[in-house]
């Protein structure tokens, strides 16, 4: 959810209520999220139980991207050069 200062309602910016848990638009136990200031302030999310790391863009017309999949992510870090570090379980 994104809550803007002064507004009473928030907006869903990542995730949703899809039936299929493997759908790119559905998150299952997100365990960490960071803002990637090097890539248009997109969100990078540990989608733990879907076993992937995904990137969500603020522009609704751009679909989320799977950055990497096949393991359970529990933490994320981005260094000053824009390199992404992923902690796996």
**pLDDT at position 80 over 60:** yes
The pairing of strands 42-47 and 84-88 is unpaired
Residue 1 pLDDT > 70: no
d(CA 39, CA 59) in angstroms, rounded, equals 12
Whole-angstrom CA distances from 88 to 56, 71, 75 are: 20, 7, 7
pLDDT tens for residues 33-56?
999 998 888 999 999 999 999 999
Output the pLDDT for position 68: 95
Q: What is the pLDDT of residue 24?
A: 80
pTM across the whole model: 0.79
Which residues sit opposite 43 in a β-bridge? 35, 56
| CATH number for the segment(s) 1-89 | 2.40.10.500
Q: What is the pLDDT of residues 57-77, one digit of tens each?
A: 887 778 889 999 999 999 999
Q: What is the pLDDT of residues 13-29, one digit of tens each?
A: 666 655 555 588 888 99
Distance CA 9, CA 18 (A): 21
pLDDT value of residue 13: 65
């Amino acid at each position: 959810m994104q809550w803007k200062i002064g507004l009473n309602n928030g907006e869903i910016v990542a995730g949703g209520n899809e039936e299929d848990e493997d759908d790119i638009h559905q998150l299952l136990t997100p365990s960490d999220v960071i803002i990637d200031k090097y890539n248009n302030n997109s969100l990078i999310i540990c989608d733990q139980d879907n076993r992937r790391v995904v990137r969500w863009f603020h522009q609704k017309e751009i679909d989320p991207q799977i950055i990497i999949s096949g393991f359970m992510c529990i933490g994320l870090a981005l260094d000053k050069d824009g390199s992404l570090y992923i902690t796996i379980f």
